[in-house]
Amino acid sequence: MQFWPNAAAVKHNYSQVASVKRDAFETGMSRNLYWIWFVGAAAWFLDAALSLHHRELGSGVLATAISALFLAAGMFFRKQARRGGKS
């Protein structure tokens, strides 16, 4: 007796999902989503500014560091997107 009687169907569905994700990545659907990192950086920067305005130094410094990380990630992925578009 099998624990999951439809295990083959589930495995087949996972392979379809992997195929769709791979196709989406290769066609560049996710290549131009680097801007979301800049939106995140702006949101964290706003949080840092509000925290510092309310004299929450620890939270403000942490939010500033996270904002810088989001900004660095956005610049990295933007560079990757431009590099991928040239080839």
| 48 and 71 belong to one structural domain | yes
The CA distance from 19 to 64, in Å, is 38
| 20 and 37 belong to one structural domain | no
The CA distance from 25 to 57, in Å, is 41
pLDDT at 4 over 80: no
pLDDT digit string, tens, across residues 60-85: 999 999 999 999 999 999 998 888 76
| 81 and 53 belong to one structural domain | yes
Taking CA atoms, 67 is separated from 27, 61, 79, 87, in Å, by 30, 10, 18, 31
Question: Domain range spanning residue 3?
Answer: 1-30
pLDDT digit string, tens, across residues 39-62: 999 999 999 999 999 999 999 999
Which pLDDT value is given to residue 47? Answer: 98
Which pLDDT value is given to residue 51? Answer: 98
| 11 and 45 belong to one structural domain | no
| 39 and 77 belong to one structural domain | yes
Q: How many domains does the chain have?
A: 2
pLDDT at 5 over 70: no
